[in-house]
Structure 1
Amino acid sequence: MKLHLIGAALALTLAGTATQALAHAHLVAADPAANAVAPAPKQLTLKFSERLEPKFSGLAVTMPQMSGMAAAAKVEVSPDGKSLIATPSAPLSAGVYKVSWHAVTADTHRTEGAFTFTVR
């Protein structure tokens, strides 16, 4: 009987470990937030649920109303490895911007998404 309990506990422990190892990076917060109307940000910050692989993760900021013209920005991963930070090379002008991102974690799982915000 005790052997069955030990086996069950071991199986639950291993199942929990496997789930964590197969986790994907999900966007948990963005500044500016999706659909926000705000003054021009000096930086865009996207926070994820997992540590990112810097060489394989990134984002692009475009203006869909201007045929997808890209806003040049320096993109880096935060020191904790869980955020993408983009610093525009020039102030963003008024208009709608689309942020398209892709995130890759250490286990090579890739997630991607997009959202818009408006600079007033």
Structure 2
Amino acid sequence: MRPLNVSIAAIALIASAGVAQAHPKLVSANPAANTAVAAPGKISLTFSEKLVPAFSKAELTMSAMPGMAAMQMASSAAVAPDGRTLIITPKSRLARGKYVVTWHVVSGDTHKIAGNYTFAVK
């Protein structure tokens, strides 16, 4: 009967180890989702886990408006020294309008997580 108890304990330990590995979650964004702000010089996305810089990127797109198609904005994205924050820096000042931040990140668990949100420049 004792080997059965050891087997059950081993299975429980293995199952709980999988639960400990979480995926990165977006904790905060600046500018925040669905806000209207003055033109930001940078956009920061902070995640719950350290990111793998080579596989963590973001794009900034100005939403379509009457008479104008959606336009990807020239920008760069880099992981900040804290390892948890992805910084998007537009190459030029953002004009008034709505923007979509589209991101994908990878943390130590090697799973790619993606998302997006919008904000407006007033």
Q: TM-score range by the shorter chain?
A: 0.7 to 0.9
Percent identity over the alignment is 42
Preserved contact between residue 63 and residue 97 of structure 2 (Cα < 8 Å): no
| 4+ residue segments displaced more than 3 Å | 7-18
Counterpart in the other structure of 2:28: 29
The RMSD of aligned alpha carbons is 2.2
TM-score of the two chains, using structure 2 as the length reference: 0.82
Cα distance in 1 for partners of 2:16, 2:35 equals 37
Distance in 2, Cα, partners of 1:25 & 1:67: 32
The one-letter amino acid paired with 2:94 is L
Task: List alignment gaps of at least 5 residues for structure 1.
Answer: 1-6
What corresponds to 2:101 in structure 1?
Answer: 99
Q: Which amino acid in structure 1 is aligned with residue 112 of structure 2?
A: R
Q: In the TM superposition, what is the alpha-carbon distance from 1:30 to its structure 2 partner?
A: 0.2
Name the counterpart of 1:42: 41
AA matched with 2:18: A
TM-score by length of structure 1 reads 0.84
**CA-CA distance at 1:78 after TM superposition:** 1.1
Unpaired runs of at least 5, structure 2 = 1-6
Q: Which of 89, 92, 101 pairs up with 1:90? A: 92
1:9 deviates by 8.7
